Amino acid sequence: MMNTTLSNGHIAPCAPSTFNLAIFGVDIYSIDTQLISGYDFRAGVTGGVYPDLPVSDPVSLSFCNVSVSYTHPGQGDNITVTAWLPVNDWNGRMLGVGGGGWVAGGPNSQSYALAAGVASGYASTTTDAGLNLGADASASGWALVSPGNVHLYNLQNLASVSLHDQALIGKSLIADFYARPPDKSYWNGCSQGGRQGMMLAQRYPTLYDGIVAGAPAITWTAFVMGIFWPQLFMNLAGMYPYPCELDAITAAAVSACDGLDGVLDKVISNEYACNFDPFSVVGTEFNCSTTNTIKQISHGAAAVANATWSGPHTTDNQLLWYGPRIGSDLTGGPTRFAAAATTCDANGCVGAPLIFGVEWITLFIEKNPDFNLSAITPEQYEDIFHAGRQEFSSMVDTDDPDLSRFRDNGGKFLSFHGTGDGVIPVQGSQRYYHRVAQGDPTADNYFRLFLAPGVSHCIGGPGGTPQTALDSLVGWVENGTAPRTLPVRFTSDTGTKYSRFLCPYPLRARYKPGKNPTLAASYHCA
């Protein structure tokens, strides 16, 4: 048995016998440990959805890798919580990291986040919610317990219960390994991880002292249906544009609205003033990289872009949910990770719907993996939309604006969302902010939202993703220093480097005319 000497003087073996878990409502199957030495971590190799963990240099990590497998008696589940506990220079804090898509977390999908946490001194934890997906994005292996019946225990574990367990198990492991509990506990997640952070603040308000929730999937039952809306539109119209057409429309929108903030940097920073009409560029010629030919923007492509930006509507034209902002990525580039994506060959194009919208409808609402989505009508879509909200909203949605228990426990909540997010529209986060503020005019004392112009889903896009959200949150929790701005940097497609900052919503960074637009000092929050 190898002992590990910790910086606080405590000597603990990285062995199952070190840990004595007793969690109410949980039966432990096994505790496995492995001492990892010389783990090579290089920040920035793959940021995943955790770009803000503040590590920049290559480091060699040593940590105790603990895997706890357990069940909720009578439910037949088998969940694994993983903790990476640094053996040197622990900063006294626990960091819970979330997942993405249908993935709750787990070391296979979140190894970067776990390692970045350890590199920054955190004892890092994650859970697979018992779904055993690894990095697999599909829910097909766990959604149905039998034909026509959703596996509600699995969905419940993904939605909330495993998050509660992760925190309690993580704190217990930390207390046993370091001979004291964590001083503070933090959560960091984006997308599904952002939704998980919302759930923790709303349903389990005493588990974490601070939460970072990026691009949160707040109203899951609405936005996931919205993801399928552009595909429904294309199916009904019988037209599937080449990705290059939609990309040309996006480029035209950015060009038209780029300068509305007084700076030409290929980023729409004043999206409220952007009223670009996609039909205005019908007939415009452009070079299509997909076909290597000169093409013209078609009326059909403009209609798809317009429908996507407008968002899903009822048959009597009532808005069901938001569409992405004008200028958001419609096609997802090479990954096709976008709501209006298509795939093409020599015979033309077909729709490439995101798996989340497809499986939400087929597996959870229709409960039939063979349900034919290509044939549904607008009336059916509207019925399916409402059926999903009625059946599952209380289980998976995290749009309760009452954060008073989290507030009274001293919690701080920091959220950010890219205005160019083509998967989870930023308006959902804005809507939630206003509902919280309406119920509590002092909400800025514990809840702040930062909008990131031009940023796509969690990361990417022409704008700057916040890199210091977690550090800013720690300062807020432990020193009372509320984040007034979040610094961002980005490089334009011409190579120009920009330094900016994000302002707490509803403020935004405004350019000071005549100043150098590449410098943060040339902007102010207003």
The catalytic site residues sit at 191, 421, 457
Q: What 3 state SS string does 393-420 have?
A: HHHHCCCCCCCHHHHHCCCEEEEEEECC
> Do 77 and 127 contact (CB within 8 A), yes or no?
no
Tokens of 498: 């920009």
E strands along 409-512, which residues?
412-418, 447-452, 486-491, 497-502, 509-511
The per-residue b/e assignment along 177-203, b for 16 or more CB within 10 angstroms, e otherwise, is bbeeebeebbbbbbbbbbbbbbbbbbb
Residues 6+ away with beta carbon under 8 Å from 158: 102, 104, 129, 131, 396
- Residue 124 CA to residue 226 CA, distance in Å, equals 34
> For residue 135, which of 97, 95, 104, 166 has the smallest C-alpha distance?
104
The CA–CA distances, whole Å, from 89 to 71, 93, 123, 134, 514 equal 33, 11, 10, 29, 47
* Bridge partners (DSSP) listed for residue 83: 66, 125
Around Cβ 45, how many Cβ atoms within 10 Å?
Answer: 9
Nearest to 325 by CA among 416, 253, 234: 253
* DSSP 8-state secondary structure symbol assigned to residue 16: G
* CA-based R_g, the chain, Å: 23
In the chain, the N- to C-terminal Cα span, in Å, equals: 59
Pairing assessment for the beta strands 210-214 and 285-288 based on DSSP bridges: unpaired
Determine contact, residues 311/320, Cβ cutoff 8 Å. yes
